Every structure is written in C-alpha cells, then in structure tokens.
Amino acid sequence: MYAAHDFETNKSSLRINRPDLSTKEDVLEELKTEWFNMLLFASENTQNSLHAFVHNPDVTNLKNAALSMRKDLGRGKLGQSVYDLRF
C-alpha cells in the first residue's frame, strides 16, 4: 500500500519483488483487486477506508486503512499518540 502513496521511493523494491507492478496505476489496480478479495473477510470500515485510499492515496487515507486492517485482525487498541503521529 505504501507504494501507492510513494511510488517513486518504492519503485526499485517493486521491480525486484513485483516486476509486474511497473507504474503507480498498476499498484492501484492491484489494490482494487485486493478490495474485492477483502469482501470475504474485511469489515465495512476497512472496505471503506481502502476504497478512500485507492481514490486518494495520501498519508491520512493510508493510515486509516492500515489501522482499520489492524483492528480487523484483532491486534488490540493503540494509544492516541500513535493516531496523532505525522511524517
């Protein structure tokens, strides 16, 4: 997901691990495919947050999607300080 947010920084890693993903658009198309796969197990909030990220892959939507996935996995709550962190 981070590659959709910052493709240029992750381009070389993608070239090694996923050579089929050669553009940011390819990464976003892959995330759209994963969105449909997630219909099997993800919560409505996770579906909505990933949908928002695919349409606007900014850091806020990335964080919201990742935190929602974490919640779906039952990984427990995080303190407010984590939600407030910015890069």
- When pLDDT is cut at 50, 70 and 90, the band that residue 80 belongs to is confident
Alpha carbon distance 36, 23 (integer Å):
21
Q: Kindly report the pTM of this predicted structure.
A: 0.83
Report whether pLDDT(86) > 80.
Answer: no
Q: What are the structural domain ranges in the chain?
A: 2-84
Instruction: Tell me how far apart the terminal alpha carbons of the chain are, to the nearest angstrom.
Output: 16
pLDDT of residue 82: 80
Q: Which tens digits make up the pLDDT trace of 2-46?
A: 999 999 999 999 989 999 999 999 999 999 999 999 999 999 999
Report whether pLDDT(72) > 90.
Answer: yes
